[in-house]
Structure 1
């Protein structure tokens, strides 16, 4: 399957929910030049799960990343990047899905039922941006301390007071270390 067929599958599956796309082509190698392809697709958020399932119908994907970007407006731009056909040398196609998630409805379905390895990424996005993943079983903090205040998200531009929370966390760590030294 080539990159054009990947686009055809996405178009057929998503219809008007595939808002736009771009195919990027890169040439690699010195003696034997090979081409690598990336698909950058902007989708309607309502088609997110269907888009991921379509990617899974092509090939079991490699998850490159899940990320989110808060540009300071009313939404967070979600970015999911997958690689398909990675077992075929020089045949991998990267597919990046982008969509806006309104800040007043920061809920997405988990993809851990399709790809258990996505749990780490979803937990990170949950604690740093405040996005809830329906169906995510493990919601413990991954990077932030357990006593991090609920409703405070360090990657959000509309977040205030994070510096004070970080100072509080560092102070707590110093206190724990002092108590540990006294017990030695």
Structure 2
């Protein structure tokens, strides 16, 4: 499938839930010019799982990243980036899905049942932005201490109590040093 065919498959699968899209093209190389393609698609959050399943129907994707951004409003902007045909030299096509997740309902289905490698990304987003992933089995912290205050999310712009979070982190570092922790 080429980039246009992939976009058509997404349009067919998502219908009106595909809010906007753009194909980006990059030419690289000096002697042998190669072209790389990206699809950037903004979708309705209700179509998130269907969009991911459609990508899996095209080709087992490579997960580039999952991230989220709090722009200071009432939503977290979620971004998922996949690459299909990543095993084909110069043939990978990137597909990036963007959608708004209301802060009043920060819940998404996990994709770890489709791709176990998404667990690390989902756990990071969970602890840093407060997004819950339904079906995520391992909910332990990745980067924050195990005793990090519940309901405090460092990447959120509406987070209050940053001083408390900093004091808490310094306290945890001091405790590790007292116990003779490595690299402390």
Which TM-score band applies after superposition, normalised by the shorter structure? over 0.9
Q: Can you list the C-alpha shifts for 1:14-47, whole angstroms capped at 9, x where unaligned? A: 0000001000000011101010000000000000
Q: Distance in 1 between matches of 2:126 and 2:54?
A: 24
TM-score relative to the length of structure 2: 0.95
Q: Distance in 1 between matches of 2:133 and 2:175?
A: 34
Q: Distance in 2 between matches of 1:21 and 1:176?
A: 48
1:104-115 alignment, distance < 5 Å: 104-115=104-115
Q: Can you list the C-alpha shifts for 1:44-81, whole angstroms capped at 9, x where unaligned? A: 00000000000000000000000000000000000000
Q: Distance in 1 between matches of 2:5 and 2:166?
A: 48
Partner in structure 2 of residue 80 of structure 1: 80
Q: Give secondary structure in 1 for the equivalent of 2:172.
A: helix
Q: Does 1:49 align with 2:23?
A: no
CA shift at 1:90, angstroms? 1.1
Q: Distance in 1 between matches of 2:128 and 2:149?
A: 12
Q: Give secondary structure in 2 for the equivalent of 1:155.
A: coil
CA shift at 1:179, angstroms? 4.6
Q: How many pairs align?
A: 181
Q: Can you list the C-alpha shifts for 1:90-120, whole angstroms capped at 9, x where unaligned? A: 1110000000000000000000000000000
- The runs of at least 4 aligned residues of structure 1 exceeding 3 Å deviation read none
Partner in structure 1 of residue 101 of structure 2: 101
Runs of 5+ consecutive residues of structure 2 not aligned to the other structure? none
Q: Give secondary structure in 2 for the equivalent of 1:168.
A: helix
CA shift at 1:160, angstroms? 1.1
Q: CA RMSD in A?
A: 1.1
Runs of 5+ consecutive residues of structure 1 not aligned to the other structure? none
